Structure 1
C-alpha cells in the first residue's frame, strides 16, 4: 500500500481488502529455509555434535544456525564466492581457442589499452561484471576512468558502505580538480590521498583509527565490523573509545568530531582494497573481451544469465554492436548461446534449446541424446526420436526450430496436427496404417513478422527476428529525440520514448524513494532518473506501460562528457495501442 505505483488502488474494495489482510498475516512468516549462497562451515568434530542440520532444496547439508550463531558455538565460517564473471571469461576464451584465437588474460597487464578505457568511460560496459550497473556506469562516465587504479577505487566507492550520491559526485569532482581535496585532519592525508579524501576501502577505517586516534588494531577492527554490519549498539561504545583515544593524543574536540563524522558515515557493506583490486582487474579483462570479441563474450554472458540485467538487455546490447540472432534450431542449437559466422565478416548468435519456455527437462535430455546420435532430417524424424509433448512441438514450430527443413511454418503446423495422432511410446504400433500427410486445399497464410516477434517475446523473453520496438509500429519513433543523440543536447530539455527494460528503487539522502529507469529506443539505451517528487507523480505510469514517453533535462556533469537524464514528466507515448498483435 505504501508503494507509489499502487497507491491509487481502491484498497477498501474487494479483492484488494482481502489481499491486504492476508498479506499482513503472512508478512514476516518464513516461506522456506534458505541456504546461504556461499557460506561454508568447518569443524574438526562431527558437525552433528555442534549444530542441527537439514538438507536444503538443492540437497546440501545445511545448519539450522544462522551466520552469527555458527560463530557463537565455535565453528569456523568461510564465504567461498562463486564468480559468474570468471565463468563468462573462461567460456569466451575457450570458444575463441576453438577458432584458433589464443588469449591469455593474465598478459593484459599493465592495463593501458586506450580503446578499452574509452569504452568504459563512455558507460558502454554492459555485460562486464562489477562495472555494468547504472550507478557504476554513471560514476565511470563522471570520472572518465582511464587507468586501473582509478577503476579499482570506483569499484569500492560504489559499495553501500562508501557511497551515496553526494560522495560519488565529490569523488568525481575532486578527481577532475573541480574542488579541492580536503582532509579533516593532516594525519589522514597519507591514508586517503589515493582516493581524494574519500573513505573508500574497509582498511581506511583501520588506518584512520591508528593514524588519528592511535587505537589498537583489535579495537579498530571491531569498529570496522560494527560499521559494516550497521550495528549501532556496538558502534556507540566503540565511538566513545575512539574519541577517548584521540583526546589522549591531544586532538582537539573539533577535529575529533570532524574525523568521527567521516568514520561514522562509512556504514554498510564495503570492500577492502584487495577485493576491489581483484574485481577491477577482472572487469578490465572482461572489458577486453567485450571490446575485441563482443560476439563470443556476450554469447557467454547470455548463457550464464548472472549479470545485472536480463537477457533482453544483453540481446539489445548485442544488436547495438552489430550482431544478429538466429532462432533455436533442432540441429544447430546446443545448451549454450553459440556464435556462427554470417556471409562476409558478420557474426550471429544462435539461441540455445535451454531457454525455450515450457520445455521439460525430460524432453531436453532426449533431445541431447538423440542429437548426439545424429542429425535430425525432418520434423517427423525429430518427433519420432525425441517424443516431445504437443505444446513443446507447437512452441518449436512457432520459434522456427524446424525452418531449416524447408517447409513453411503453416505447413509445419499442419504436419504437427498429423503427427499428434502418431503413437508416442517406443514399440507401440497403430491398429491401422498411418494416413499420408496432405496439406489442406485452402490458402495458407504464413505468420507475419509481428506475429513471429510476439511469439519470440512470449517464449524466449527477447526477440530474435528483429528489434522488440517493432512490436509497437504505431508509435512515431522518428519524432522523438534519439537516445544516441542526447549528448548533443546537454543542458536542454528533450522528449524521448522507449521500452523500459530495467527499473530500480533508491532512497535519496532525505530518505524519500526515487526511481531509476533503463530506457531503450531504436538507437540505444539510457538511464533516466525520477527524483522523489517526479516519482510520486508518475510512478504508476512507469509500471502501467512497457513503453513510455519521457520529458527530461540532459544534465551535464561539469566540464566532462558525462550527463544524466533528469526526468520531469512520464506519459504513454503518442500512437500507443499496446502490442501490434493485440491491436490486430
Structure 2
C-alpha cells in the first residue's frame, strides 16, 4: 500500500485485501446524480418550487403511470427497450415494484419476471413452498428476488444467525461443493429442529440454491431505484425541464437523442429549432418542448453561442438579419458559422427565406463595413439594405440542410409528404421496434443510409441495409430471393418502405425483409388497383380464402377489389389485403381464378 497526498490506494485483488482484514468500498460515479441536481435547480428557477428529494411522494400516481407506459427514455436503469416492455406488462403501482423489477432484469432472474407479474396481477393465486415463507416473500409476490430474502429464510427456517446466514449466501455464490455440503447438513438439521419435515427442508434448501445463484442485493436495488424514481418524478411532472436537462447530458449521442425526441413527440412535445432570439447556450425548456441550443449547431461552437446570447441579453432581441450581422461583427463570427445558423433555421423568424439570406451574406457584410466607414456622414436604415433575389428552397432541401446543421429534422421530416400513404399500412417508428415484436411482421419507413451487398457461399447476391427515421436506426437483411426482385429499389439516401419479420433480442434487432420499395414507387402504386373476379362456377368460399392467402403473402400499397359473379356484387378489401403487384402474384392469382379474371388498373 502506498500513499499519494492524502489518498491511500492499493493494487491488491479484493480477495487478498479481504484476507488482510481490510474493508473494500466500490464507489460508483453516476451522471444521473448530476442530472438530478440540475433538475432540482431548473425546476426552482422555472417554477419557484423547491422540491426536496426526501419529500417526494413515494408512490406518486402520475410517475407510476408514466413508468407503466414504458416512456422511460432518460430514466436511470429503465431506458432499454427490454425494460420498457417489462414495465408495460407489469404496470408498477408502487415503489417496491420498480425495486423488484430492477433486481430481476438481469441474466438468470429474468426467467422469473413473468411469475412476478402474474403474482402482482392475481395475488390470490400465489403459491408458497411453505406457508411460513409468506411473510418474507409477499412483498415480491412469492418470488425470491433479493439476497436478503435468502438470509431471512435461513434465519426463519433453520435458526441461523444473521452473520451465519450471510456466510451461507457467500458460500452459495462461490459454489464451493465441500462448503455447500456442510451448509446443507446444517440447514437441514436446523430446519428439522424448528419443526419442518425433512423432505420440506430439503426442498427449501434446493430452492434457496436455485435463487441465491443470482439473488441481487436489495440495498443496491433500492438505491438504484430511488435515483430512477426521482428522475421519473421530475420527468412526469416537469417534462420540458426534464428533456432539456437530459438532452444537455447526452448531447452528441444522436441515437439516444432520437429515441427521446420520438418519445416527446408521442407526448405532444417537440424539439424546437434553434433561434438567435430564443435559444440559449444549452438546451432549454419551452412550453412546447425543448429549444435546440445555439452551441450545438454545426461549426458554431461555444464562444459564438455565448456571444449571441450575451448580446441579446444586454441589448435586446435582434430585429432583422442586418441587425444581427451588425451586432455580431465584434464577436468575429465566421462566414461558415453564419451559413450553418441560416441552414439550421436559427434566422427563420424574419421575412426573408433561407435561400435569400445565404445569397445575401457577402452583400450584408459589405453593407455593414460601408456603414462603419462612412457612418458619420450618412445615416443608414436597416430597411435600405437590398437582399439578393433567390427562389425559396423546396421543403426537402430545407430539411436536408437542417439535418446537416443540427443532426435532426426539426421543421418537419421527409416522410411527412407520404402521410396519406402510411395510413394504408401504418409503419412503425423504427425506434419502437423491439424484441417484443420478435417473429412479428411489421412495416417501417426511413432513409436508406448504407447498403452492403455481399455474395453467399452459393454465389447468390444479398444485402445488409441500415435504415433510419427520426426515432432511430435499424438493420435490414435482404436475402437473395428478395434481393433479386428488389435490388433496383435500393438506392442510398432515398426514402424506403420495408415489410418484413422482426428478429432479435434486447441487444440486437433486425428485420428480415419480404418487401423493399422506394417510397415514391409505393406512393405511385397506391393509386393502382387490382381487380379480381370470382366466376360463378367456382366455390366462392374456398376461392376467396385462396385469394386472401396470396394477397397476404404479397403485402403492399395497391388496393384490391373482388367482383363476385354469382352475387353480382363488387367488394373492396380493407388495407390489410393491399398488395405489391408483381409477376409472381399475378401468376398465382391466375391459377386460382383464370387469366381473364385478373386485371391491374
TM-score (norm. length: structure 1): 0.62
Q: Is the 8 A contact 1:551 1:567 kept in 2?
A: no
Are 1:46 and 2:33 matched, yes or no? no
Question: Distance in 1 between the 2:254 and 2:301 partners?
Answer: 27
Partner of 1:140: 87
Partner of 2:57: 109
Residue ranges of structure 1 left out of the alignment (5+ in a row): 1-42, 52-62, 228-234, 342-346, 429-435, 502-518, 554-565
Superposition deviation, residue 301 in structure 1? 2.0
Residue ranges of structure 2 left out of the alignment (5+ in a row): 190-198, 374-383, 449-466, 503-508, 524-601
Q: 1:130 aligns with which of 53, 68, 77?
A: 77
Question: Distance in 2 between the 1:462 and 1:222 partners?
Answer: 54
In the TM superposition, 1:32-431 aligns within 5 A as 45-46=3-4, 65=11, 68=14, 71=17, 78-102=25-49, 104=51, 106-113=54-61, 115-160=62-107, 163-164=109-110, 166-177=111-122, 181-182=126-127, 189-208=134-153, 210=155, 214=160, 217=163, 220=166, 224=170, 227=173, 235-237=174-176, 239-250=177-188, 256-266=205-215, 270=216, 272-305=217-250, 310-341=256-287, 347-364=288-305, 366-367=307-308, 370-371=311-312, 373-375=314-316, 376=318, 378-418=323-363
Residues 510-563 of structure 1 deviation map (CA, whole Å, 9 limit, x = unaligned): xxxxxxxxx9989xx899999xx999x99xx9xx9996634569xxxxxxxxxx
Change (3 A) 1:322 1:437: same
Q: Is the 8 A contact 2:295 2:304 kept in 1?
A: no
Q: Is the 8 A contact 2:499 2:514 kept in 1?
A: yes
Q: 2:426 aligns with which of 470, 475, 481?
A: 481
| Paired residue secondary structure (1:317) | helix
Partner of 1:12: none
Question: Distance in 2 between the 1:534 and 1:225 partners?
Answer: 51
Change (3 A) 1:331 1:127: same
Superposition deviation, residue 48 in structure 1? 9.5
Residues 390-435 of structure 1 deviation map (CA, whole Å, 9 limit, x = unaligned): 33222111012223454332232123234678999xx99xxxxxxx
RMSD over aligned CA atoms reads: 5.3
Superposition deviation, residue 444 in structure 1? 0.8
Change (3 A) 1:75 1:273: closer
Question: Distance in 1 between the 2:4 and 2:112 partners?
Answer: 48
User: Would you say how many aligned residue pairs link Structure 1 and Structure 2?
Assistant: 458
Residues 9-54 of structure 1 deviation map (CA, whole Å, 9 limit, x = unaligned): xxxxxxxxxxxxxxxxxxxxxxxxxxxxxxxxxx994359976xxx
Superposition deviation, residue 351 in structure 1? 0.8
In the TM superposition, 1:374-523 aligns within 5 A as 374-375=315-316, 376=318, 378-418=323-363, 439-440=387-388, 444-467=390-413, 469-470=415-416, 473=418, 476-481=421-426, 495-498=442-445
| Paired residue secondary structure (2:285) | strand
Superposition deviation, residue 67 in structure 1? 7.7
| Paired residue secondary structure (2:498) | strand
Superposition deviation, residue 82 in structure 1? 4.3
Question: Distance in 1 between the 2:289 and 2:214 partners?
Answer: 48
Residues 222-242 of structure 1 deviation map (CA, whole Å, 9 limit, x = unaligned): 954994xxxxxxx232x5323
Residues 264-309 of structure 1 deviation map (CA, whole Å, 9 limit, x = unaligned): 244xxx4x32333344344444434333432232222222228996
Superposition deviation, residue 367 in structure 1? 4.5
Question: Distance in 1 between the 2:255 and 2:220 partners?
Answer: 23
Question: Distance in 2 between the 1:521 and 1:226 partners?
Answer: 48
Q: Is the 8 A contact 2:155 2:161 kept in 1?
A: yes
Superposition deviation, residue 206 in structure 1? 4.0
Question: Distance in 2 between the 1:459 and 1:296 partners?
Answer: 24
Superposition deviation, residue 455 in structure 1? 2.3
Residues 311-347 of structure 1 deviation map (CA, whole Å, 9 limit, x = unaligned): 1222222222222443222343212222344xxxxx2
| Paired residue secondary structure (2:109) | coil
Question: Distance in 2 between the 1:526 and 1:175 partners?
Answer: 33
| Paired residue secondary structure (1:497) | strand
Change (3 A) 1:335 1:163: farther
Q: Is the 8 A contact 1:325 1:465 kept in 2?
A: no
Question: Distance in 1 between the 2:96 and 2:49 partners?
Answer: 27
Question: Distance in 2 between the 1:414 and 1:250 partners?
Answer: 87
Superposition deviation, residue 199 in structure 1? 3.3
Superposition deviation, residue 180 in structure 1? 5.2
Change (3 A) 1:394 1:275: same
Partner of 2:580: none
Q: Is the 8 A contact 2:169 2:212 kept in 1?
A: no
Residues 32-87 of structure 1 deviation map (CA, whole Å, 9 limit, x = unaligned): xxxxxxxxxxx994359976xxxxxxxxxxx9x59859958998764444444444
Change (3 A) 1:455 1:209: farther
Q: Is the 8 A contact 1:206 1:221 kept in 2?
A: no
Q: Is the 8 A contact 1:475 1:574 kept in 2?
A: no
TM-score (norm. length: structure 2): 0.60
Q: Is the 8 A contact 2:272 2:291 kept in 1?
A: yes
Q: Is the helix fraction higher in 1 or 2?
A: 2
Q: Which has the larger radius of gyration?
A: 2
